[in-house]
Amino acid sequence: MNSNTAFARLDQIAPFVHISSAALFIAIELSIVIFARYFFKDIDQNTHRYELILKECKKFFIAQICVMFMICLSAIFLINTNEFKISDPMVQAIVATKWALMAFIILNLGYMTYKFDLAKKAFLSDELLETHENLVLIIYYFTPLNIALSFLSIYLGITFRGL
């Protein structure tokens, strides 16, 4: 019996986890944007929505961190296997760019978490304007930036597999 016909081979699990995690990360980011934009409507009249946004965004941030951990772990596993030839300078550049994008996304997530904590503290201090400004930065600027960088990273991954 040929071992290549096995249903689940070990060398197929890491790429599956990597691609699935990347898709899940983008889905979480899009969910944050859609969820928050919906609840930002008429937020001046319903200030209790800030509490709901802060409560739910915490869950999204935890999910993002877990998924980013899975992406990094599967990427390390993929690079350490002998499947890819890293001697090609183009492949080295793509891999380095993907790691740089991942590092920037992780730094952006860290800054988003910092701004989220500032928004939470401002909300507890009844400073709704500061809460609003921090949430706007997260929802309208940093999250779409993560989405764009994630799509760029996926494009580089597709290019990488095509070489």
Determine, yes or no, domain membership for 144.
Answer: yes
Sequence-distant (6+) residues with CB within 8 A of 23 are none
Q: Which amino acid does the sequence have at 109?
A: L
53-73 burial string, b = 16+ CB within 10 Å, else e? bbeebeebbebbeebbebbbe
Residue range 14-42, pLDDT digits in tens: 788 888 999 999 999 999 999 888 888 87
Domain that holds residue 105: 12-162
In a domain, 133, yes or no: yes
Residue type, 77: F
Query: Domain tally for the chain?
Result: 1
Does the pLDDT of residue 111 top 90, yes or no? yes
- What is the tens place of the pLDDT at every residue in 35-55? 888 888 878 788 788 888 898
Res. 3 pLDDT band, cuts 50 70 90: low
